[in-house]
Structure 1
Amino acid sequence: MKNWLSLLLLCIALGLNAQQQPQYTQYLLNSYLLNPALSGIENYTDVKVGYRQQWAGLQDAPKTAFISAHWALGDEYLWANALSFETDGNNPRSRSYTQNYTASPAHHGLGFVAVSDKAGQLSTTTFDISYAYHLQLNKQLNFSLGAAGGITRMAIDVNALLLENPRDPALNNAANARLLPDLSVGAWLYGASFFTGLSVQQVLPQKLSFSGDEQYNTGKQVPHVFLNSGYKFYVSEDLNVTPSLLFKYVPNVPLSVDVNVKMGFKDRIWIGAGYRKHDALNMMAGFNISHLVNLSYSYDVTTSVLNQASKGSHEIVLGLLLNNVYKVVCPQRQW
């Protein structure tokens, strides 16, 4: 057992202002995980189920599983007709689609996300319900504001820890899980060819205490700020390229920067690649199987000092497009 990794992860969780939210490589396809303002952005119920294995090959390395869903409120569809869609229901991401793009009317959106993250002997489970309001700024531009609230459960598997002192006072109350309130807020500006979003997770400061002795209860949750943006260019009628950036700020931690590019052909297949500063190179690919199902996979090549032991990180996401009246086979408001 690589106890050094378990100890490192535990120290980060309890005593340092380090990254406390899971890492996602495929954020571009499900920015809802980072920003509640996307609730109800699509014209169908957008469901995603995913799993991530961080640093494969390292025992007790982080593992993350999630399920998310969001939808627009009301019985009316966001677009009154399908003029920009082909008659058979397909909707290629072509120039003609962009030319016929219309902003959705003002509407409300709801959603939920459940995330289970295990790093070493520390387990974190979060369940949030989200709400967003989408404004129509003009014929081709929308702006939305959203918030998500819920509860986070944090627990330590003390039986799996190898301690020099089994009665370590820093963990004398670790057998009891902690229930903490959770709050996130965000804003999202989007049109046919671009998006820009700003969000903050863990808005409410919470102390992470696993000891009855106050001198050991110095750990705390800290806000995580996400700023991401992207723009879609057309190489040909049916071939598009979308470069994007993601900046993640956590107090007392170096700024995290993701640079990605995604290339899509019509509405069926896409490939992508990216770089996370001082962390990893990644490769991605996805296939929109039908108007009901899509599937994507990414692999991160570790570039940090962990590359001596890590075999990289894997992430797979299954998407469902429920109540998909126009039978589009690719997302319309996400990229």
Structure 2
Amino acid sequence: MKKLLFIGIWIIASLGALAQQDPIYNLYLFNPLVINPAYAGSRDRFQAIALHRSQWIGMKGAPTTQTLSMHAPVWNRKVGLGFTVINDAIGPVGQTQINATYAYRLLLSSGRLAFGLRTGVQNYRFAWEKIDYQNDLEESPNGQNLNDWNLNFDFGIRYSTRLSFLGVSLAHINSPKVDVQLSDTLNYYSRIVRDLTVTGGRAFEINEDLVIRPSFMARANRGVGVVDLNCSFLLKQTLWLGFSASTSKRLVLLAEYHINNNLRAGYSFDMSLTPIRKYSYGSHEIFISFEFGTIPKPAMISPRVYGYF
């Protein structure tokens, strides 16, 4: 019974960790919709992004994430509508999110202020058969595989100009409950913790061929915070190269290439500075972005980059 209880506590901790820390993204500046629902419609035309992340390559059961997001402006660009699907897994624990996003955008004299609401369902899973037991248990778990669906709400605010932005978002406002059945007589539950994220950045146009873009992302829940500091360089209005450092002890290299006015692709590599680096080959993230629609008139000076955020 004690071992079964220990396994139960470990499961709750695993679910809690997955819920408290939503998927990690290095390329969040190129796919802001997954961070802040207020971004919907900000490209001023339709955009679809597919992303894959493999973390800690070489480790069994290491985290993987797949994301599909799309959004577009409607009603004279005063409203943005979006849709996201996120699949995240680590070992026996997994989650899938399916969300719809609505953003209302105010055009101010100095920039744009947007308010976004995201709502959808989240599926949390736990598969007993994916657990490797090092020793025989006096009592083997006979709990049912977890497959729990919950309604979820996120909210965000974002202010942006052509050269800068600042955003605040709160995920899991309703803090959904996930039920876990360990056996016929043992049941536990875990609540998805609210996650606060603040992002910001500023672009500096050095000349026609060079733009420097420092930015940051800070996330916090239950008093625990992580800060990422990033600096990217845009070369010839075509290629982004950058790096970032995180208080979670990660160093990141990233790149994005503008193939043409409608197609972009990006890649990042990050290396852990914790003992995990002895057992993995780092983490890799790739994405491809497709856009179509009329490019806004202010962007005609530089059609490939109309706003750096």
* 3-state SS of paired residue (1:57): coil
Opposite residue 152 of structure 2, the aligned amino acid is D
Relative to its length, the structure with more strand (as a share) is 2
2-side partners of 1:245 and 1:219: how far apart?
A: 30
Report the counterpart of residue 25 of structure 1 in structure 2: 26
Describe the superposition over 1:296-323 as per-residue Cα deviations: whole angstroms up to 9, x where unpaired.
0000011122112121110001000122
- CA change 1:222–1:321 in 2 (3 A) is same
Q: 1:214 to 1:20 in 2, by over 3 A?
A: farther
Other-structure match for 1:119 = 90
Alpha-carbon distance in 2 for matches of 1:227, 1:301:
23
Cα pair distance change 1:166/1:241, threshold 3 Å: farther
Q: Answer yes or no: is the 8 Å Cα contact 1:52–1:315 preserved in 2.
A: yes
* Residue of structure 1 in register with 2:155 after alignment: 185
Q: Which residue of 1 aligns with 2:114?
A: 144
State the Cα deviation string for residues 86-106 of structure 1 (Å, max 9, x = none): xxxxxxxxxxxxxxxxxxxxx
Q: Quote the residue 1:276 is aligned against.
A: 246
Cα distance change on mapping 1:64 and 1:137 into 2, 3 Å: same
User: Where does the alignment leave 5 or more consecutive residues of structure 2 unmatched?
Assistant: 1-6
Aligned-pair identity in percent equals: 23
Partner of 1:34: 35
Pair 1:332-2:306 in alignment: yes
- How far residue 8 of structure 1 moved from its aligned partner, in angstroms, is 10
Give the structure-2-normalised TM-score: 0.88
Going from structure 1 to structure 2, the CA distance change for 1:176 and 1:158 (only over 3 Å counts) comes to: same
1:20 Cα deviation from its structure 2 partner: 3.2
Paired residues for 1:20-169 under 5 Å: 20-74=21-75, 76=76, 107-138=78-109, 140-163=110-133, 164=137, 167-168=140-141
CA-based RMSD of the aligned residues comes to 2.4
Structure 1 gaps of 5+ residues are 1-5, 79-106
Which secondary structure state, in structure 2, belongs to the residue aligned with residue 219 of structure 1?
A: strand
Q: CA deviation at 1:165?
A: 5.8
1:188 maps to amino acid: R
1:291 Cα deviation after fit: 1.4
Q: Per the alignment, in what secondary structure is the counterpart of residue 207 of structure 2? A: coil
Q: How does 1:194-209 map to 2 (within 5 A)?
A: 194-209=164-179
Question: CA-to-partner distance for each residue in 1:112-167, whole Å, 9 max, x for gaps?
Answer: 000011111112110000000110121x3110000000001111122222353664
Residue 17 of structure 1: CA displacement? 8.6
Larger relative CO (CA 8 A, sep 6+): 1 or 2? 1
- Please, which of 300, 304, 317 is the counterpart of residue 274 of structure 2? 304
What does residue 4 of structure 2 align with?
Answer: none
Q: Letter of the aligned partner of 1:39 in structure 2?
A: A
User: 1:332 Cα shift?
Assistant: 2.6
2:304 and 2:9 map into 1 onto residues whose CA distance is 41
How many pairs were matched up?
Answer: 295
Assess if the C-alpha contact under 8 Å between 2:163 and 2:308 holds in 1: no
Please name the residue that 2:203 is paired with.
232
Q: Give 1:324 deviation, angstroms.
A: 4.1
The DSSP-based 3-state class of the residue aligned with 1:290 is coil
Contact in 2 for aligned 1:44/1:71 (Cα 8 Å): yes
Q: Which residue of 1 aligns with 2:15?
A: 14
Match of 1:93 in 2: none
1:321 corresponds to: 291
1:291 and 1:324 in contact (8 A); partners too: no
Instruction: Assess if the C-alpha contact under 8 Å between 1:45 and 1:323 holds in 2.
Output: yes
1:142/1:313 CA distance change after superposition, 3 Å: same
- The two structures have a TM-score, normalised by structure 1, of 0.81
C-alpha change, 1:151 and 1:73, in structure 2 (3 Å) is: same
Query: Would the alpha carbon gap of residues 323 and 256 (structure 1) be closer, same or farther in structure 2, given more than 3 Å must change?
Result: same
The residue that corresponds to 1:85 in the other structure is none
After superposing on structure 2, the runs of 4+ consecutive aligned residues of structure 1 that deviate more than 6 Å are 6-9, 212-215
- 1:13 is displaced (CA, Å) by 2.7
Partner of 2:3: none
Task: Return the letter of the residue paired with 1:200.
Answer: L
